[in-house]
């Protein structure tokens, strides 16, 4: 066969092989036809036997065939990679018109909503929020709050102690925060200290061995019971509305003198008595009073110069009143069906 015909046959054979070649075959074809030991090279090697005048003609022809094959292989390679990309895009396509599955978003716990409202009101009046330890010294939880050893509140049956000598305990109230604040701040002091407290109570609809209190305290020159009444009255009005009514009843706490308990008139029956207020017309909100001079003095604050008020309120009870929750246990069980209602 004439070399021309050989080249033409090689070209058409290569072209038809290319048409159906896949990615891996493409490389093999490149080697087969264009490689150093490939078929075109083999043809060029045979040119020695040609008449001199034929050589450049065949040489040029061979180069043309080589160039065409190179171009076709390149084109085929591009075609294959475009096809592969298209298939991948199709496989990975996201249909943005399909409705998504909405993620379940949690909500703030009703008790913490109430706490945030209380914090906001006090922050608005210039109070600083303090949070601190729940494991406390009996000295801070009791002694320095004027609750002497032997006082019934210090009974082993009421308090979770850590040590045989009853010197370390889970705080039974947030009132030790008063002592911490007086130790770390100089008057004038205005603090609000929310947190967990612990008592040996059996769980029922109104009791839990762990619950939350919010302690408040203000110390400055010339602070009187009128400031306590005015402040708490303003707080209650901001929380429960302008028409809310408060009542201050005399009471006894070892760390305040005088002491009182503060009730809010039942918002449901306006004092007439109903199931919400257990027919009393009033709902107990907190304990409060003027800080005992002994307590101030034990923290190095001169009771002849400074005076102050303090209060402590139960957060769960507030939340229960706020959201008409009938059972304390619901607040801690964290049943989603319950929490979703708020």
Q: Which is nearer to ligand DAH, 33 or 198 (CB)?
A: 198
Q: Which residues contact 316 (CB under 8 A, 6 or more apart)?
A: 111, 208, 211, 212, 328, 331
Contact segment (CB under 6 A) with ligand DAH among 25-33, 35-43, 81-89, 282-290 equals 282-290
* Residue 130 or 310 having the CB closest to ligand DAH: 310
User: In degrees rounded to 5, what are phi and psi of residue 173?
Assistant: -160, 165
**Phi, psi (deg, nearest 5) at residue 18:** -65, -40
The pair of structure tokens assigned to 57 is 């003609």
Fill in the per-residue mask, 206 to 245: x = in contact with ligand DAH (CB under 6 A), - = not in contact: ---------x------------------------------
Residues 170 and 153: their CA atoms lie apart, in Å, by: 13
Which residues have C-beta within 8 Å of that of residue 284, sequence separation ≥ 6? 261, 262, 263, 317
Say whether residue 310 binds ligand DAH (CB under 6 A).
yes
Looking at the Cβ atoms of 215 and 316, the one nearer to ligand DAH is 215
Contact 234, 194 (CB under 8 A): no
Binds ligand DAH by CB under 6 A, chosen from 312, 317, 320, 328: 312
- Which listed residue (127, 140, 282, 311) binds ligand DAH by CB under 6 A? 311
Examine residue 141 and tell whether it contacts ligand DAH (CB under 6 A).
Answer: no
Residue 29: name the closest of 62, 77, 63, 61 by CA: 77
Cβ nearer to ligand DAH, comparing 159 with 175: 175
Q: Which stretch binds ligand DAH (CB under 6 A): 17-25, 60-68, 270-278, 304-312?
A: 304-312
The nearest distance, CB 335 to ligand DAH, in angstroms, is 28
How would you classify the pairing of strands 128-129 and 256-265?
Answer: unpaired
Choices 50-58, 61-69, 113-121, 284-292; region in contact with ligand DAH by CB under 6 A: 284-292
H or E stretch covering 89: helix 54-92
Which is nearer to ligand DAH, 240 or 255 (by Cβ)? 255
The three-state secondary structure class of 151 is coil
Say if CB 39 and CB 66 are below 8 A apart: no
Q: Is 253 in the site for ligand DAH (CB under 6 A)?
A: yes
Burial of 202 (0-12, 13-18, 19+ CB in 10 A): exposed
- Nearer CB in complex with ligand DAH: 40/223: 223
From 72-80, 90-98, 283-291, 327-335, span contacting ligand DAH (CB under 6 A): 283-291
Which CB, 312 or 321, lies closer to ligand DAH?
Answer: 312
d(CA 231, CA 236): 9
Residues making contact with ligand DAH (CB under 6 A): 173, 175, 215, 253, 256, 287-289, 310-312
């Amino acid at each position: 066969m004439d070399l021309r015909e050989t080249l033409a046959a090689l070209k058409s054979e290569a072209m038809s092989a290319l048409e159906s070649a896949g990615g891996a075959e493409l490389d093999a074809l490149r080697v087969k036809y264009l490689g150093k030991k490939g078929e075109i090279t083999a043809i060029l090697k045979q040119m020695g036997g040609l008449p001199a005048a034929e050589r450049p003609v065949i040489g040029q022809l061979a180069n043309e065939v080589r160039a065409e094959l190179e171009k076709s292989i390149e084109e085929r390679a591009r075609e294959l990679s475009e096809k592969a990309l298209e298939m991948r895009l199709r496989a990975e396509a996201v249909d943005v018109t399909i409705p998504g599955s909405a993620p379940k978003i949690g909500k703030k716990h009703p008790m913490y909503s109430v706490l945030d409202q209380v914090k906001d009101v006090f922050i608005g009046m210039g109070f600083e929020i303090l949070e601190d330890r729940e494991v406390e010294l009996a000295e801070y939880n009791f002694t320095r709050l004027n609750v002497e050893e032997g006082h019934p509140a210090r009974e082993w049956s009421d308090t979770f102690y850590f040590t045989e000598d009853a010197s370390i305990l889970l705080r039974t109230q947030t009132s030790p925060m008063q002592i911490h604040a007086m130790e770390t701040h100089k008057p004038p002091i205005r603090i609000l200290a929310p947190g967990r407290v612990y008592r040996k109570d059996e769980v029922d609809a109104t009791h839990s061995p762990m619950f939350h209190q919010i302690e408040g305290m203000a110390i400055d020159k010339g602070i009187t019971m009128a400031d306590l009444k005015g402040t708490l009255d303003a707080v209650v009005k901001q929380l429960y509305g302008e028409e809310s009514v408060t009542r201050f009843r005399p009471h006894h706490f070892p760390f305040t003198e005088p002491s009182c308990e503060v009730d809010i008139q039942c918002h449901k029956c306006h004092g007439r008595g109903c199931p919400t207020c257990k027919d009393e017309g009033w709902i107990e909100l907190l304990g409060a009073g003027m800080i005992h001079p002994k307590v101030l003095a034990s923290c190095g604050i001169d009771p002849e110069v400074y005076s102050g008020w303090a209060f402590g309120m139960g957060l769960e009870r507030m939340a229960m009143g706020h959201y008409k929750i009938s059972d304390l246990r619901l607040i801690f069980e964290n049943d989603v069906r319950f929490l979703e209602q708020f």
